[in-house]
Structure 1
Amino acid sequence: MKNLQITAYTQHFIRQQVMPGDICIDATMGNGNDTALLSRLAGEKGHVIAFDIQKQALEHTAERLLKDGCPENYQLILDSHENMMNYAKPDTVSCITFNLGYLPGGDHSVATKADSSKKAVEAGLHLLKKGGLMTLCIYSGGDTGFQERDAMLDFIRQLDPHKYLVIQSEYINRPNDPPIPVLIIKLFSEKQKVVS
């Protein structure tokens, strides 16, 4: 088996999830790795919406998508991921991916924060269709990483088990606060009534 880094681990499940024609969201586009993967998987008839608050991230991602020959099925948005409800409708999105932390190779003082990330995950859960997948790569450390990690884990542990399946993995023998991969699968449609 390959030595799976956290992004490769979550991308394994993304590849199982996304089908041609799907709508997908990269909530934290960074350097465009997940955006490019989602674009290729969704294909020409699909649509990918990618968010970042840093212009540098949009520029790097646009270059990456062109270099990789990805279909022109994407929309790169300079906005916080917590506003994703303004760009997609509930029950329509197949896959949403998050890499929480800072832009690799970028300014470490500009990073995702617990409050906006929680709002973004909440918004994303409404946008996912039944059977939709959300992946979270939770990095800790830095100025706010531990606070964000603890807040996110506390939030997802409280998600209604009748509505969501939450799977948290961990690298138990790696030192220095290794990242935490999380999968969330939506079990219901926003249109249906959930019986507790």
Structure 2
Amino acid sequence: MQAKYLSKATDLAKNLIAMVVKKNDVVIDATVGNGNDILFLCDLVGEKGKVIGFDIQDIAIENTEKKLRDKNMIDRVMLINSGHEKLKEYVDTKVSAIMFNLGYLPGKNHEITTKYKTTIEAVKQGIDLLEVNGIMTIAIYPGHKEGLKEKEELLKYLSTIDQKQGNVLKMEFINQINNPPLLIAIEKK
């Protein structure tokens, strides 16, 4: 029997995000990937909300745009074919939530992956963009070389965030094999 509530870091992230995001909010999907998180966010913000999605890969943007058109949700989304380290170049308003799902695009080139330097920059900018009580989730996948380095460097940086600025929570599976993903949640104060 498959676990229902604690089986995937991405499911935990969605549960946390759903507690915060309301209809008509503005939110960010910092790593569009296959478009699953963006569809989830579109449902949360409703027809008058806005989802801003970033990805460096053309194929991720194209596939996500098709999914959004098929679901009649394209009007509530702005897709940006650029790195998430450029959040503030495109977003000039406060947001209630930001989702990161790091690593590589499943089923595609595993050499194209998020990198810790740009991810840390994106997290810094994202914290500035979050409204008070807003939430950021970061799913980290240390099962490949770049992912392990990203985990190490991100955890170093995240441990330096002043507790007056926000709460930083690390959730990880301690009984799973093969470098399981972990989830970081940041709630802005």
**Root mean square deviation of aligned Cα:** 1.2
Are 1:76 and 2:71 counterparts?
no
Pick closer, same or farther for the CA change 1:71–1:41 going to 2, 3 Å.
Answer: farther
User: Bigger CA drift: 66-75 or 8-17?
Assistant: 66-75
Q: For residue 153 of structure 1, what is the aligned residue in structure 2? A: 155
The DSSP-based 3-state class of the residue aligned with 2:28 is: strand
* Counterpart-to-counterpart distance in 1, 2:25 and 2:49: 5
User: How far has the Cα of 1:71 moved from its partner?
Assistant: 5.8
- Structure 1, unpaired ranges of 5+: 188-196
User: How far has the Cα of 1:11 moved from its partner?
Assistant: 0.5
* Counterpart-to-counterpart distance in 2, 1:15 and 1:67: 23
TM-score scaled by length of structure 2: 0.94
Match of 1:46 among 46, 49, 56: 49
* Counterpart-to-counterpart distance in 2, 1:131 and 1:75: 24
User: How far has the Cα of 1:69 moved from its partner?
Assistant: 3.4
The DSSP-based 3-state class of the residue aligned with 2:51 is: strand
Q: For residue 174 of structure 1, what is the aligned residue in structure 2? A: 176
TM-score scaled by length of structure 1: 0.91
* Counterpart-to-counterpart distance in 2, 1:150 and 1:177: 13
Q: For residue 17 of structure 1, what is the aligned residue in structure 2? A: 20
Check whether the contact 1:39–1:71 (CA below 8 A) recurs between aligned residues: no
The DSSP-based 3-state class of the residue aligned with 2:145 is: coil
Q: For residue 69 of structure 2, what is the aligned residue in structure 1? A: 66
- AA partner of residue 175 (structure 1): I
Runs of 4+ in 1 over 4 A off after TM superposition: none
- Structure 2, unpaired ranges of 5+: none
Check whether the contact 2:56–2:82 (CA below 8 A) recurs between aligned residues: yes
Number of positions where the alignment pairs a residue of Structure 1 with one of Structure 2: 186
- AA partner of residue 9 (structure 2): I
Match of 1:183 among 182, 185, 189: 185
Check whether the contact 1:22–1:94 (CA below 8 A) recurs between aligned residues: yes
Are 1:108 and 2:110 counterparts?
yes
Match of 1:8 among 11, 20, 24: 11
Q: For residue 123 of structure 2, what is the aligned residue in structure 1? A: 121
The DSSP-based 3-state class of the residue aligned with 1:178 is: coil
* Counterpart-to-counterpart distance in 2, 1:180 and 1:143: 15
